[in-house]
Structure 1
Amino acid sequence: MSYWADGPQGNVFDNGLQAGSAIMRQAVAGGLSCLPGATLLFAPHEGSYARFAPDSLAPTSASWGYENRSCAIRIPAGDPAERRIEHRAAGADTNPYLVMAAILGGGIAGIEDGLAPPEPVIGSAYGQRVLQFPMDWDGAIERFSGSPRMARIFPAELIETMSAVKRQEQHQLAKLSAAGTVMALMDAV
């Protein structure tokens, strides 16, 4: 994600330095504040959570850093004129429209509210004391359904419907799992 203004300014995240502009850091802070509530959008299925493991290069916390692939939000190195935010929490099994809405909505909220992010993570983000996001499907559904940040970005009807659909998917999956266990026990006898 980057933010371009009309006219000579161009990329608003660029301040001529590697650190990026204050607006970029506000967008980072907004993205971090939304991440726990939006985890269901970034990992929409039970199997989506298998990739969230320490040292897997998939993030496990609402963290950010420069050129740091263990963080959920990474600021890639390179020409400051091309400064951008890389969001690393979403998997390949997502709805890209909902993911983009959450990412952009978080960034805009951070800019509008003038949020400040914590210090960037240096070294591995795994095991550091940073805000954790839900590491399981059930926790992600709970956080999404009750998140004030998600309520700011998405209509209440979408939040309620998505939460209900995911609860129904959980119920169906539990029934299939229980039926499979019974069949396996019968085969063993």
Structure 2
Amino acid sequence: MRFADPREAEAFLAAHPEVRHIELFLIDPCGVPRGKLLHRDELRAVFEHGRPLPSTILGLTVNGEDVDETGLVWDVGDADCWTFPLPGSLCLQPWRRQPTGQVQVSMHPEHGLPAAVADPRHLLARAIEALQADGLYPVMAVELEFYLLDRERDAHGRPLPARQVNGARPHATQVYGIYELEQLQPFLDDLYAACEAQGLPARTAISEYAPGQLEITLEHRFDALQAMDEGVRYKRLVKGVANAHGLQACFMAKPFGDLAGNGLHLHLSLADAQGRNLFASEDPAGTPLLRQAIGGMMATLADSLALFCPNANSFRRFQANSYAPLARSWGVNNRTVSFRVPGGPAASRHIEHRICGADANPYLAAAAILAGVRRGLREGLDPGAPVVGNGYAQAGEPLPTDWHTALCALEHSAWARETLGGAFLDVYLAIKRAEYRQFMGEVGEQDWRWYLTQA
């Protein structure tokens, strides 16, 4: 694990005398950024000696509540665990009204114990190192969909798409609509400017498959850890810029029952030490190595689903003809399958993993993907023939469509425990089991609408 040089702090403070505060954050197992707001006078010490955070910070539910069963609360006296800044993560938050900095930290592998076992970034680092030991270097990119919403709700409490520049609220899908992007120009201008200020490689923006839904792609990175770092920082940035515009960026997997869900599509190829794409092929279906990688991801999909789809709402996204996959399937230039090999030049051949909702933790999702790929390569797994045509009509064994089944599959997976680590899984499953009990124990509007008078 590599941490930042203290000279980064010196250079930042010298270049930005106007900055009074710096947001320090790490990503917890649920994918939520948590941390503190520091005064500029504290920054040097963080880079030189680290910053302690309580062990409970990596044992919280998505709602920020302690989970005693993680072993990170009373068992260890909510111990201080030392974090250190990540290289290149110190930057400005341009959306703040007052000049503010931002730095991402991660738990130190030794001085961060006992919480270090639950740091999701460590999990991905180990998965990358395992492939590199085999002479393989994962190249990855993040593609996130989100809804841009107003803060106001309709009469029934339902979220509403953000009003456009013309004052109107979008009501039609208008996928790939250019006018729709033009109508969001103030927001998009600030978003791209903030990405440039933070060094995030934001590229193509499109109007997605629902009113108010957007997608902006990030560039492929030879360093998969860097790609996921940029993914989590981009998500933080989108929410910050939206908030500055009086709006809300929503990354729920399925915010609306009758509209498209939000996906996290992860793009993957493998390179050698010189950066040559080992999936490159004039054959649109790629090399045998590519197909074995898909075979491994297919073989481990059920065991990994609780990492790709971490919440109850995640599973509402899996509906036929919705551009969300329903089965273990792959295809070439086909968006109805789980693992898509996009078209394009031979040198760009790669896999698009389409399972995750935008609510997934990119570190955990990428770690599970890479661990599955490694299994496929080591065992020479064959994914079978690619799907041609409508994958929904040809779906074989469907994916589990409920949270509880996915959690049980992860809990009882010998592969996951060996590959991802038992200590991490114990913490993650404790958190998700606690969330499951809370979610199922809550009685709300849907219960009353269905059962209040009919039961």
Q: TM-score, normalised by structure 1?
A: 0.88
Q: Kindly provide the CA deviation profile for residues 43-70 of structure 1, in whole angstroms up to 9, marking residues without a partner as x.
A: 1110111110011110111111111111
Equivalent residue letter for 1:6: A
Distance of 1:51 and 1:84 partners within structure 2: 24
Matching of residues 9-158 of structure 1 within 5 Å? 10-158=276-424
SS of corresponding position for 1:81: helix
SS of corresponding position for 1:169: helix
Equivalent residue letter for 1:3: L
SS of corresponding position for 2:269: coil
Q: 1:5 aligns with which of 272, 287, 296?
A: 272
Equivalent residue letter for 2:269: S
SS of corresponding position for 1:2: strand
**How many angstroms does 1:179 deviate by?**
10
Q: Kindly provide the CA deviation profile for residues 95-122 of structure 1, in whole angstroms up to 9, marking residues without a partner as x.
A: 1100000111111111111111111111
Structure 1 residues without counterparts, runs of 5 or longer: none
Equivalent residue letter for 2:273: D
Flag the 1:10–1:161 CA change in 2: closer, same or farther, 3 A.
Answer: same
Q: Which residue of 1 aligns with 2:171?
A: none
Compare CA radii of gyration and give the structure with the larger one. Answer: 2
Distance of 1:131 and 1:148 partners within structure 2: 21
**How many angstroms does 1:166 deviate by?**
1.4
**How many angstroms does 1:181 deviate by?**
5.6
TM superposition outliers: structure 1 runs of 4+ over 3 Å: 178-182
Q: Indicate the larger mover: 148-157 or 102-111.
A: 148-157
- Structure 1 vs Structure 2 CA RMSD: 2.2
Equivalent residue letter for 1:84: H
Equivalent residue letter for 2:289: I
Q: 2:433 aligns with which of 148, 167, 170?
A: 167
SS of corresponding position for 2:290: helix
Contact 1:30-1:106 at 8 Å conserved across structures: yes
Q: TM-score, normalised by structure 2?
A: 0.38
Contact 1:101-1:153 at 8 Å conserved across structures: no
Contact 1:33-1:149 at 8 Å conserved across structures: no
Equivalent residue letter for 2:358: A
Equivalent residue letter for 1:43: C
Q: Indicate the larger mover: 77-86 or 170-179.
A: 170-179
Contact 2:327-2:395 at 8 Å conserved across structures: no
Report the structure, 1 or 2, having the larger helix content.
1
Distance of 1:145 and 1:133 partners within structure 2: 17
Contact 1:11-1:82 at 8 Å conserved across structures: yes
Equivalent residue letter for 1:52: F
SS of corresponding position for 2:281: coil
Report how many residues are paired: 183
Contact 1:36-1:132 at 8 Å conserved across structures: no
SS of corresponding position for 2:443: helix
Distance of 2:412 and 2:334 partners within structure 1: 30
Distance of 2:446 and 2:394 partners within structure 1: 39
* Higher RCO (Cα < 8 Å, 6 or more apart): 1
Equivalent residue letter for 2:364: L
Report sequence identity in percent.
35
Q: Which residue of 1 aligns with 2:92?
A: none
Equivalent residue letter for 1:10: R
Distance of 1:123 and 1:179 partners within structure 2: 40
